[in-house]
Amino acid sequence: METPDQRLFEADLLSAEFRAGSLKGFWGLAGCDVLPDQPAWPVRILWMAAAPRANAPDRYYVRLDLSGYRSVAPTGTFWDPTTKSILEISKRPKGKPDSRFARVFRTDSWPHSGSAFYHPYDRVAAKDHTQWPTEQPHLVWDSNHTIVDYLEEFHSLLNSGDYIGV
């Protein structure tokens, strides 16, 4: 039986904003070309397109824990469609040194390295950084935010000049 958070997420997949981005090839729900079925709720695998870079994929998959959606922000990280597991660091998208990109997708050691994004839209990272709502008030996740806000934020980074490939 579907839970309210799952119903809300699935309704948002049918929204004009999600569909419009999907139609443009910006993002989508992982299809049966990479996995026969989506994992059990509250986990979902989605993908975001990335700007062309030498020897880098044209899209990255993310494995998100969406429990409590939309009241609670997602958390998750890159996922490997080949191994069906968390994407190893050598295959993760990299940014120019000291860029915002490099910080958000940081692969150095921090308590949640490899399992969450260093960004206010990730509930695990946000919980540890109580100063972020003051410093970045426009990125405070609340129940008015949807999966499209999450995808648009990270899709923009993957298509920015600071993204250099893997």
Partner 1 sequence: MVNEELELFIHSYGRKPQMVRAAAHEVLKEVLIRVGLLKEGQDDMVFVGESEEVLTEPDEVEDGIDQHAPVDVLLTIDVLELRRHHHVHVHKCRHVAVEVNFNGRTKRHRFSPATTVGVVTRWARRKFKLEGAAGAEYVLQVCKSTKQPRSDEHLGELVEPSVCSICFDLVKEITPQG
Q: Using CB under 8 A, pick the residue from 57, 136, 165, 166 that binds partner 1.
A: 136
- Positive or negative: CA dihedral 90, 158, 107, 145: negative
Element of type H or E holding 43: strand 43-49
Q: Is 5 in the site for partner 1 (CB under 8 A)?
A: no
Distance CA 25, CA 9 (A): 20
Q: Using CB under 8 A, pick the residue from 119, 141, 154, 158 that binds partner 1.
A: 119
Q: Using CB under 8 A, pick the residue from 46, 49, 104, 158 that binds partner 1.
A: 104
Q: Which tokens in the block code for residue 114?
A: 């490899």
Q: Is 1 in the site for partner 1 (CB under 8 A)?
A: no
Closer to partner 1 by Cβ: residue 27 or 61: 27
3-class secondary structure, 5: helix
Residue 93's closest CA among 21, 26, 159?
159
Q: Which tokens in the block code for residue 151?
A: 């995808």
Q: Is 15 in the site for partner 1 (CB under 8 A)?
A: yes
Quick count: other Cβ atoms within 10 Å of Cβ 146?
19
Stretch that binds partner 1, among 3-11, 56-64, 80-88, 131-139 (CB under 8 A): 131-139
For residue 16, the one-letter residue type is A
Closer to partner 1 by Cβ: residue 35 or 139: 139
Q: Using CB under 8 A, pick the residue from 118, 141, 147, 158 that binds partner 1.
A: 118
The residues near 1 (Cβ < 8 Å, ≥ 6 apart) are none
Closest contact distance (angstroms) between CB of 143 and partner 1 is 14
Q: Is 115 in the site for partner 1 (CB under 8 A)?
A: no
User: Which residues form the interface with partner 1 (CB under 8 A)?
Assistant: 14-17, 19-21, 23, 96, 99-101, 103-104, 118-120, 125, 129, 131-132, 135-138, 148-149, 152, 156, 160-162
